[in-house]
Amino acid sequence: MTAKRTPFDELDRKIVAMLIENARASFAEIGTVVGLSATAVKRRVDRLRKDGVITGFRASVRPAALGWRTEAYIEVYCDSAAPPRRLAEVARKYPEIAAAMTVTGAADALLHVRATDVGHFEEVLERIRNEPFVRKTISYMVLSHLLPESPEAGASESAPGAYADGLPGDAAIML
């Protein structure tokens, strides 16, 4: 069966789903659930990593528990002359920027920013606004999360989503 080299089959789906829920699950444990030997599971995991499906294994941390208590989204409007791509350099420079992307709509880009408090956020915002190609910004402070503060927050998180076995809310999985 599967002589045609299936890129991503049902077994892979289950394995990925399990690793999203618990990245420290042993190969043997995964194997008993999906009906494979530990060795076979390892081979598949290695392949999934090599193919870029699984990009890493990381601990999920509650930002607030570590002092990151302020969160905001910033719409960035750039000079018509400067490409929003230049924001990538800025985003890499500031660790407070958890995500940066170009978007449709009036703004050129959207930044997801984390800071320890409002004072810290103001300082970060000031630095961004001082970038030469930034014309204007609009900030939206996050007041409270309506979902189990998942990965979106920046950390990957628990939250037993509900898309088959995998969960977009958790790890953006289709499965």
Binding site for DNA (CB under 7 A): 1-6, 11, 26-29, 31, 35-40, 42-44, 47
Report whether 125 contacts 96 (CB < 8 A). no
Query: What number of other Cβ atoms are within 10 A of residue 86's Cβ?
Result: 16
Interface mask toward its own copies for 41-80; x: CB under 8 A = ----------xxxxxxxxxxxxx-xxxx----x-------
71-130 positions binding its own copies, by CB under 8 A:
73, 84-85, 87-88, 91-92, 95-105, 107, 109-110, 112, 114, 116
Q: CB of residue 172 vs DNA: minimum separation in angstroms?
A: 24
Q: Give the relative orientation of helices 38-50 and 27-34 as an angle to the nearest 10 degrees.
A: 100
Regarding 40 and contact with its own copies (CB under 8 A), the answer is no
Residues 6+ apart with CB under 8 A from 157: 60, 148, 149, 150, 151, 170
